[in-house]
Amino acid sequence: MQNNTNISEFNTETLELVNRIISRYPEGRQKSAILPVLHIAQSENSGWLSSETMDYVASLLQIQPIEVYEVASFYSMFNLQPVGNCMIEVCQTGPCWLNGAEDILAHFEKRLGIKPGETTADGQFSLKAVECLAACGNAPVIQVGIEYHEKMTTGKADELLEKWQSENKCSHTNPYL
């Protein structure tokens, strides 16, 4: 897998962003910045949080590593295992289910040859079944990185897959930039 790299530290530009975020919270409350900083760290570490990455975040925020682990393991957007270059998240909750979400998920499974929670052998795609993305009026909905794709059809899924394959799509980009 190409995704086992670990960030050692952020570059200057990212550090400036992190410091700007930390400054939004009162003196001594820098722990508040943990979610935004974990989002950034995950994007810089190929879409997942290794323990080394979390330790680095702990050092940036001057908190104990366990404080980062317990938070990272609580929130569903953080991946604690390596993931593919492009993570496809398919909403499966009621309103999307009413409008054919199962067909969309099954189509991705068939096209990619993987089940939710798995990654293709070439490391390009991961599939994840997620809960309500709050876009129910345009169901069914999927999310890739910070993009939403709404009113999904199997045809649209094919078009997107083709596009992502040809451009070697990466969904792990710094969400702030």
Distance CA 163, CA 145 (A): 15
Question: Does 39 sit near other proteins (CB under 8 A)?
Answer: yes
Residue 143 in contact with residue 172, Cβ under 8 Å? no
H or E, element range at 147: strand 147-149
Question: Does 53 sit near other proteins (CB under 8 A)?
Answer: no
Judged by CB under 8 A, the residue of 86, 133, 142, 160 near other proteins is 133
Query: Whose Cβ is closer to other proteins: residue 1's or residue 29's?
Result: 29
Question: Does 17 sit near other proteins (CB under 8 A)?
Answer: no
Classify residue 118 by its DSSP letter: -
3, 35, 39, 59 from 54: Cα distances, Å: 16, 11, 11, 9
Question: Does 176 sit near other proteins (CB under 8 A)?
Answer: yes
Q: Which two tokens stand for residue 55?
A: 């330790």
Which residues have CB under 8 Å from 37's CB, separation 6+?
18, 21, 22, 57, 60, 61
Q: Which two tokens stand for residue 9?
A: 């530290």
Q: In angstroms, give the least distance from the CB of 122 to other proteins.
A: 27
Residue 111 in contact with residue 71, Cβ under 8 Å? no
Question: Does 74 sit near other proteins (CB under 8 A)?
Answer: yes
Question: Does 32 sit near other proteins (CB under 8 A)?
Answer: yes
Contact letters for other proteins, residues 78-97 (x by CB under 8 A): x-------------xxxx-x
Query: Whose Cβ is closer to other proteins: residue 36's or residue 123's?
Result: 36
Judged by CB under 8 A, the residue of 1, 134, 153, 159 near other proteins is 134
Question: Does 126 sit near other proteins (CB under 8 A)?
Answer: no
Q: Which two tokens stand for residue 107?
A: 């189509």
* Sites of contact with other proteins (CB under 8 A): 24, 26, 29, 31-36, 38-39, 61, 63, 67, 70-71, 74-78, 92-95, 97-99, 130-139, 143, 146-148, 175-176
